[in-house]
Amino acid sequence: MNAVLRSINDKHAAPLAVRGLSHGYEDGQVLSNVDLAMEPGSVLGLIGRNGAGKSTLIRAMLGLLQPHAGECTVFGEAALKLSDRSKARIAYVPQQPDALAWLSARQMLDYVGRFYPTWDAAYARSTLERWLISPNKLLGKLSPGERQRVDLIRALASRPELLVLDEPAAALDPVARRDLLREIALRAGEAGTTVLFSTHIVSDLERVASDIAFLHEGKLLLHCAVDETKERFARLWLPAAMSAAAPAQVFGRHRHEDGSLSLVVERDPNGRWPEAASLPGARIDALGLEDLFVEIAG
């Protein structure tokens, strides 16, 4: 009976979820009261500047560090107490993989594959060949880009239900990045894999992400579908004489030399822009995803 209940709960539990998550280090607060949950089969792009807290958030979500406050769950289980069954459903690639550096690429993949019941050895071999990586070369002797690609092969060959990638394209050249994004899209589209990847490369999000989350200075500023951003957010320009009428709740605020203001604003639940948008001389401009990121995190 318990096994049946767990199976039912798995189907409805968010693959990854955090509530009230806060964490810090000796030099200050890194995350502040973050709430975030992923839908099964979604591809969530976690975007933010370097130092925004993306890696800390990912590590806390996966139970790799104990946060100062809040709770993290994976497939409905407490992240810090994951069962072996749940661990086998996850693949994680850190920003700078360095484990098992004394093994060759082939040895590492053969070793790791023994822990995954869904391991695809043929995929691992063919992708090493396709990505022109010598299977007999020690991992410690590979370039950063090659080492990251081997770790991506390790993650993808396990056929995970949840794939978590921390800055996966950081050390990849443009061709390898395109191959990786194609793999992410295929896994999400064909196998229903849930994917979380952090990045500061906005074009990568636009190619594969279904949802986007903006993390800035440890706070989650927004979480929505990528397709919603152009309709939901815009840049509001106000001339200097109207700047006092600027709404208080905005996502970005910049004052220019002539005294005018540019603000990132959001439609209300009824689809209306703030009242200031209708003032004489005010202007609403559409924002692309990259412009939105620059305005919020700039």
On whether residue 148 sits in a domain, the answer given is: no
> 284 and 212, same structural domain?
no
pLDDT value of residue 74 = 96
Distance of CA 115 to the CA centre of its chain: 26
pLDDT value of residue 12 = 66
* Boundary of a domain, candidates 217, 252, 283: 217
pLDDT tens digit sequence for 23-79: 999 888 899 999 999 999 999 999 988 888 999 999 999 999 999 999 999 999 999
On whether residue 272 sits in a domain, the answer given is: yes
Residue 8 reports pLDDT greater than 80:
no
Residue 125 reports pLDDT greater than 50:
yes
Whichever domain contains 203, its CATH number is 3.40.50.300
The residue among 78 and 97 whose pLDDT is bigger is 78
> 247 and 211, same structural domain?
no
pLDDT tens digit sequence for 262-292: 889 999 888 899 988 898 889 999 888 888 8
Taking CA 137 as the corner, what is the angle to CA 134 and CA 143, rounded to the nearest 5 degrees? 85
Per-chain mean pLDDT for the chain:
87
> 239 and 208, same structural domain?
no
Lowest mean pLDDT among 8-22, 114-128, 148-162: 8-22
Q: How confident is the model at residue 108 (pLDDT cuts 50, 70, 90)?
A: very high
The residue among 122 and 12 whose pLDDT is bigger is 122
On whether residue 66 sits in a domain, the answer given is: yes
Domains: count for the chain: 2
On whether the CB atoms of residues 231 and 273 are closer than 8 A, the answer is no
pLDDT value of residue 292 = 86
Residue 124 reports pLDDT greater than 90:
yes
On whether residue 52 sits in a domain, the answer given is: yes
Longest dimension (CA), the chain: 70
**By CB neighbour count within 10 A (0-12 exposed, 13-18 middle, 19+ buried), where does 93 fall?**
buried
The helix-helix angle for 144-157 and 121-130 (nearest 10°) equals: 150
> 274 and 211, same structural domain?
no
> 76 and 51, same structural domain?
yes
Q: How confident is the model at residue 1 (pLDDT cuts 50, 70, 90)?
A: very low
> 267 and 234, same structural domain?
yes
On whether residue 130 sits in a domain, the answer given is: no
On whether residue 72 sits in a domain, the answer given is: yes
List the beta bridge partners of residue 237: 262, 283
The residue among 228 and 13 whose pLDDT is bigger is 228
Task: Measure the CA–CA gap between 230 and 220, rounded to whole angstroms.
Answer: 19
> 201 and 270, same structural domain?
no
Task: Measure the CA–CA gap between 194 and 37, rounded to whole angstroms.
Answer: 12
On whether residue 34 sits in a domain, the answer given is: yes
62 phi, psi to nearest 5 deg? -95, 0
Residues 6+ apart with CB under 8 A from 167: 54, 55, 95, 198, 199, 200
Residue 189 reports pLDDT greater than 80:
no
> 258 and 208, same structural domain?
no
Task: Measure the CA–CA gap between 50 and 187, rounded to whole angstroms.
Answer: 27
On whether residue 188 sits in a domain, the answer given is: no
Q: By residue range, what is the domain housing residue 279?
A: 227-297
